[in-house]
Structure 1
C-alpha cells in the first residue's frame, strides 16, 4: 500500500486526491495520536491551523478543524501565515499540534497538509505512520456536550507575534539596502515586506496580491526570471524570492544573477564561523547540494554533514549534532537558534544583515563559492519505486559515473511530492552535464 505521507506531509490535487473528508479523518486521527501522551491539566488539548492563500485551503482548514474538534481538541485558526510562522506560533501559543494547509511551491490546484508537534517541530516518520494507521481505526462517534472541541476563527495577533519574533531574531539595521521581494502571491505577501521594512530596508514588493487562484503562478522561487528582471529595473541591491508558503528563499544580486540556497548557506556559514557561532564548524546540507559548496566549505575548514533531500532530514541531523545551520539548494535554510523549520523571511533578513555587517555586495559575498554546472531533469514516471531497481538504469548510472570521473557526479532520486523522478548531473562543463543528464533521463523515461 502506498504511504499517505510524503517527504513533506500529505499532498495532492485538492478535492480529488486530497479531499475534505480525508482532511477531516486526518484531523481526527492526528488529534488522537498527538494528544494521547499529553499530561493532564486544566487546559484541554489545543491545535493551531494556518494556511496559504490558495482557494482550497479554506475548505481543507475547515474540514481539519472539524475533525480535531470532534476528538475534543480546541482549534485556533490563525489564517494565512507562512509555514515557519505556523511552526513558531505552535510553540508561542503553547499548542499541542500545529497544522499547515499548503502545497508550498506546487501550482494552485494542489494542496497539502503538514503537521507539527508541540514546540513547532515536524513529525518523524513513525508518528506519521501512526496517524495513518489511526485513520483506519477511528470511531465515528466522539466526545459529547462540553467535551467537544471549540473552533476559534482567526487569531487576531498571530501575524504580529511572528513579526516580533523575526525582528528579535535579526536585529541588524538594514537602512540603505534596497530590496525587491517576490512573494509568489503566497503566504509571505503581507509578512515579508513588513518584516524587511521594519528592519530598515527599502522594500519593493511584487506578486504580493493573492486572490486565492494566483499563488506561484509565474512567480516566486520557481520562476526566478521575474525577480531577476525586477531587481535590474528598480536598481535594487538584491532580490529575494519566496515560494507559496514562504519556507524558501532564493536571492538575486544587483546584476540579476541568481544566488541559490547553496550560496546563501555558504555566505551564512562563513559569517557564523567568524562569530564563533557555527557549532563544530559544521554545516548540514543534502545530497542535492552543489559540489562547489563542499569544496568551498573545505577551504574554510567547515565540515558538511550530508542528508537525504527534505528539510525534515536536515532538521533531524541538526538536532542530532546540535548544529547551527543547515539547508537545501532549493532555498530551505534552517537556523535552529531561531526556527524549527526552514524560514524564507528569516533567511532574507540574515542575508541582508550579512551585507550590512560586511559592507559587501551580495555578488561579492556569493563569491565565497564557485557553482559547478548542475543540470536537473524532472522525468514524469508512473512507478517511482521501480526506477532504481531497473537494470538498465543501474548500468546507465555506472557508465555516467565512469565518464565524469572525479570532476562531476550523478544523483537520481524520486520526488517526494509528485510523480516525477529527478535526474541530476554535475560536471566541469555545462554542455557535458546536459548530455549525460539527457541520456540518463531517456533511460528513466523508458522504464
Structure 2
C-alpha cells in the first residue's frame, strides 16, 4: 500500500494511534469523522492477514452508500488507493468491496445495521460503524461479538463514528455511564475543529436552520435531549400566533395533508404561504405563514376537497395551489378507491410536491422546531388564531410512553403532522457536507 500523508486533527490522531478495543467518536457534522474512518481502515488493512475480513456498517443502506462509502470512495480515488469495484455498487443489499495492500486484496463486508441479522455468523478482525445513533443496541452487540478473528499482528478493534443522541439512549449508557478507560477510547469533536476545511459560513448556515437544541447536538457535539414531553418545544403561543397573518391571493397557496379517517383520527390539512420576512439581524429570508386549517371527521378525500373549495381563499386565489403531505397517500385513498393524490389531481390540483416516502419522524420534528425558532433565535413560522387545532397540537402533542420519537395519537396531532410534511419539504433541518475540502500531502 502506498504511503499516505494525512493532516489529521487531534481527535483523529487519538483514534488512529489508539490500541484500545472500542473506539468512539461523537462528532459534529462536517468535523471529518468519515475521513478519519477512511484512514483508520487503511491502517487496519495493513494489519490484515490473508483470508481475514473487515466490516463497514451504517444505520441504513442509504446512509452507508450515500454518505459513508461515497466519501470513502472519494478519498481513496483521490489518494490513489486501489479498490474494487472501482465504482460504488448500486442497490440496497449486502455487498463486498476489496482494498489492495501490497500484493493482496482484502475483503471488506458492507452491511446495514437495520438488517443486523446479516452480520450474524461473520468473523471479522475489525469493524467500522458510522452514524449509529439511530441503530438498535442489538445490532451493536452483534457487531462487537463478531470482531473476534484474531491472528498475529492483529488488533481486534471496532470504531464508531457518529452524531450524538439523547442522554437516555444506549449510546450514552455504553460510552458515558459504563465508560471503561481500559477498553474504550472516547473522543468528541464539534464541527468547528474542521472549520478551515469547511465552506465559508457553514456553521452560521447551520445556526439558521437548526433549533438551538439540535445545534448543540449536531454541531457542538453535546448529549442533548431534543424531545421533552412536548414534541414541539420551540412553540410559544405568544410569539407564533398573530392576527397579522393574512392570505395573499397573488402568492401560491400551499395545502398540506395527513390522510386519516376513523374515530379520533380526522382528515387534517393546513393552508400556508411562503412569504418574505426579516431575521433578528434585519436580513431578508423566507418564512411560513399558516392562515387556515381543514379538520373534517370521517370523510373521504372528495369531501375534504369540497370543503377546501368552499373556503374564501380558494375563490380569491390568483396563483396556483401546491399540494404537500403524507407519502402514503400515493398508495390508495382513505376508502381504497384510488390514490388520494390522484383524486386531488383529477379535481384540479396537479401541482404536487410529495416525496416517495415520508421523512423519518424525528427529522420531521426537528424541521418544525428549527423553523419555529432556530439557534439564532430567528422565528420563521406565524400562525393565525383561526388554526385552533394546529395551535393546540403544537402545545400538546407528546411522545408515546417509553418512545424516543413516536407521537401519541390525538385529535390535534394529525394537523401538526400535515404541517410537518410541508415544512420538512421546503425547510428541512439538515445540510449535507461531503467531507474535508483541503486534505494535503497525498
Global fold match (TM > 0.5) = no
TM-score (normalised: structure 2): 0.30
TM-score (norm 1): 0.29
Which structure dedicates a bigger proportion of its chain to helix? Answer: 1
**Larger RCO (alpha carbons 8 Å, 6+ apart):** 2
